[in-house]
């Protein structure tokens, strides 16, 4: 899986974060992914992915705080 690209949203206004993440996800080919970097646990984002894209994404924590959370999000 190619996930060398990172999406660091820590400096992005919260209202813009989820649309930006879903846009990045939609542009992925199956098997591709990216690493999301956030300043808090992105559980609400996970729940949104689960509600809208059940079975179509992968979610793997690479780092769980306290300064940064890194999650590999991939397209199945």
pTM surpassing 0.85? yes
The chain-wide mean pLDDT, for the chain, equals 95
> Residue 4 — very low, low, confident or very high, per pLDDT cuts 50/70/90?
low
- In tens, the pLDDT along 31-58 reads 999 999 999 999 999 999 999 999 999 9
Residue 25: asked if its preceding bond is cis (omega within 30°), the reply is no
What number is the average pLDDT over the span 54-69? 97
Residue 2 has a pLDDT of 47
Q: What are phi and psi of 58, to 5 degrees?
A: -110, 150
Cite the beta strand spans of 1-76 per DSSP E. Answer: 6-8, 33-38, 57-64, 69-75
Q: Is 46 exposed, middle or buried (0-12, 13-18, 19+ CB in 10 A)?
A: middle
């Amino acid at each position: 899986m190619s996930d060398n690209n990172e999406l660091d949203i820590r400096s992005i206004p919260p209202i813009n974060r989820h649309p930006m993440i879903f846009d990045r996800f939609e542009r992925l080919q199956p098997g591709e992914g990216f690493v999301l970097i956030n300043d808090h646990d992105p559980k609400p984002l996970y729940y949104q992915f689960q509600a809208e894209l059940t079975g179509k994404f992968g979610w793997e924590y690479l780092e769980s705080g306290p300064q940064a959370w890194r999650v590999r999000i991939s397209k199945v």
